Amino acid sequence: MNIDVVGAGSLGLLFGGKLQAAGIDVRFWTRTLEQAEKLQHSGIVITERSGDTYIKPEAVQAKPVSELAEIWREAPGDWMLLTVKQTHMHDFIDQMQSLKELKDRQHVRIACYQNGLGHLDMLQSALPDAILCSAITTEGAKREVSRVYRAGAGETHLGLSVTSKNRGRDTEREQSIITLAEVMRQAGFDCTVSNEIDKLIFRKLLINAVINPLTAIWRIPNGELLQRTERLNMMKQLYDEAMAVYKAMGIQMDEDLWEQVMSVCRSTASNTSSMLADILHKHTTEVESINGSIVKMAKQFNLNVSAHETLLHLIQGMPSEGVS
Ligand SMILES: NC(=O)C1=CN([C@@H]2O[C@H](COP(=O)(O)OP(=O)(O)OC[C@H]3O[C@@H](n4cnc5c(N)ncnc54)[C@H](OP(=O)(O)O)[C@@H]3O)[C@@H](O)[C@H]2O)C=CC1
Ligand SMILES: CC(C)(CO)C(=O)C(=O)O
């Protein structure tokens, strides 16, 4: 199987690096030529509790994403792992426009790792023939140049979301996802195919919508959210607002989801959430596709989600030079 990893960041290097170490043919597609050259010069190191895995420089295939569509004409891959952030989806879509002209365009298969909502619809309307699969993962990865740290082993669920379903050829789509999951397992990921991927997408959205903006505003690791009543009260307000939206939409969640949110805080107690990390690194956050999605859905039902709305605006208004 040939895997194209688009976005050689934290998740991209973790998944791509481990797949390559398991003997899968992997090509990395970077935003800049500079990063592609760096990977080919230094190789990739994956640091896990069990030790380091090293992909030698000469084994790394990395190119700027601007060359992907052209190379795909001659040598298409079997699956693309899309590991860019939500904030870079528009750039990626612009770069992929010429894939529409491929003869075999219905064989463009993309596994989307993004947190939040919005990317699948956007991608499906830009590439209507592509097979899109959601990859919901509890892996935690952090990149430093060409080294990626894996924070324990998480679970990854792959599945066709509502966006990609009802487009025919479901058996073929499902089979290709099963094959991708098998390859992921060979590479050491706890990966399963889920028939309830939308539930998992909304569960993750809720967890991110409660934890991320508060840790970003208070600049605390996830575990510290549980340390003060005021923080727990804010979490609960965000939770209740989101659950009211889900109820109006007919989205069923587990009865003990509030317990699960607190349990994620405990199991990732020392984590800097991705939203806080983005702010500290002066990157645009994914708040628009996380809390912004809750706000957008609430509007359809005239529901009040004032906590999400306030946090959305507070985070969007953060100084672009970051905070220290
Ligand atoms: N890290 C994690 O543990 C988890 C992350 N996620 C989700 O996965 C997604 C990716 O996260 P993460 O890996 O942490 O993010 P990173 O910022 O570490 O990686 C994203 C990479 O994409 C590159 N990129 C940006 N635009 C393009 C483009 N058009 N073409 C090719 N590459 C591009 C960036 O390049 P450059 O650095 O040059 O800008 C960067 O290397 C996010 O939506 C996140 O919410 C979900 C679960 C866990
Ligand atoms: C689950 C959580 C909150 C872990 O840090 C996360 O997914 C994130 O930081 O984006």
Domain at 100, CATH number: 3.40.50.720
Per-residue pLDDT of 199-217, as tens digits, reads 999 999 999 999 999 999 9
Q: Are 283 and 228 in contact (CB under 8 A)?
A: no
Average pLDDT over residues 4-24: 97
pLDDT of residue 184: 98
- End-to-end CA distance of the chain, in Å? 44
105 C-alpha to center of ligand 1: Å? Answer: 25
Q: Are 6 and 83 in contact (CB under 8 A)?
A: yes
User: Is residue 19, in this structure, part of any structural domain at all?
Assistant: yes
Same domain, 171 and 28: yes
| Residue in the block written with tokens 């619809």 | 121
Same domain, 206 and 180: no
247 C-alpha to center of ligand 1: Å? Answer: 31
Nearest-CA neighbor of 290 among 308, 269, 276, 267? 308
Report which bound ligand comes closest to the CA of 118: 1
pLDDT of residue 136: 97
**Closest ligand 1 atom to 91 CA:** 29
231 C-alpha to center of ligand 1: Å? Answer: 29
Same domain, 181 and 203: no
Q: Which among 155, 172, 195 is the end of a domain?
A: 195
Average pLDDT over residues 184-209: 96
Specify the CATH number for the domain of residue 250: 1.10.1040.10
Same domain, 185 and 214: no
221 C-alpha to center of ligand 2: Å? Answer: 10
Strand pairing category for 155-159 and 190-193 = parallel
Return the amino acid letter for 250: G
275 C-alpha to center of ligand 2: Å? Answer: 8
Assign 316 a pLDDT band (cuts: 50, 70, 90).
very high
Instruction: Please tell me the pTM assigned to this model.
Output: 0.95
Which of 5, 11, 35, 82 gets mutated to test ligand 1 (max ligand atoms within 8 A of its CB)?
A: 11
302 C-alpha to center of ligand 1: Å? Answer: 34
Show the ligand 1 pocket: residues with CB < 6 angstroms: 6-12, 29-32, 35, 65, 83-86, 88, 91-92, 95, 113-115, 137, 139-141, 143, 274, 286
Tokens of 218: 């208070």
ipTM entry: 0.98
User: Is residue 323, in this structure, part of any structural domain at all?
Assistant: no
User: Is residue 68, in this structure, part of any structural domain at all?
Assistant: yes
274 C-alpha to center of ligand 2: Å? Answer: 6
Percent of the chain whose predicted confidence (pLDDT) is above 90:
82
**Closest ligand 1 atom to 86 CA:** 43
Task: Give the chain's domain count.
Answer: 2
Show the ligand 2 pocket: residues with CB < 6 angstroms: 115, 207-208, 211-212, 222, 264, 268, 271, 273-274
User: Is residue 138, in this structure, part of any structural domain at all?
Assistant: yes
Apex 115 CA angle, 97 and 244, nearest 5: 120
Range of the domain at 232: 198-316
Nearest-CA neighbor of 65 among 40, 29, 39? 29
| Residue in the block written with tokens 């010069």 | 41
> What is the rounded CA–CA span in Å between residue 184 and residue 81?
11
Per-residue pLDDT of 246-298, as tens digits, reads 999 999 999 999 999 999 999 999 999 999 999 999 999 999 999 999 999 99
Q: In what order do the strands lie in the sheet with 25-30?
A: 62-64, 25-30, 2-6, 79-82, 109-112, 131-137, 155-159, 190-193
Assign 162 a pLDDT band (cuts: 50, 70, 90).
low
Per-residue pLDDT of 127-142, as tens digits, reads 888 889 999 999 999 9
Report which bound ligand comes closest to the CA of 142: 1
Strand pairing category for 62-64 and 79-82 = unpaired
Largest Cα–Cα distance of the chain, in whole Å? 59
Same domain, 152 and 71: yes
232: pLDDT strictly greater than 90: yes
Q: Are 155 and 181 in contact (CB under 8 A)?
A: no
Same domain, 39 and 101: yes
Same domain, 151 and 164: yes
Q: Which among 172, 195, 218 is the end of a domain?
A: 195
> What is the rounded CA–CA span in Å between residue 204 and residue 194?
14
pLDDT of residue 323: 63
Assign 100 a pLDDT band (cuts: 50, 70, 90).
confident
Q: Which among 145, 175, 195 is the end of a domain?
A: 195
Apex 281 CA angle, 278 and 286, nearest 5: 15
> What is the rounded CA–CA span in Å between residue 130 and residue 107?
7
Which of 5, 10, 115, 280 gets mutated to test ligand 1 (max ligand atoms within 8 A of its CB)?
A: 10
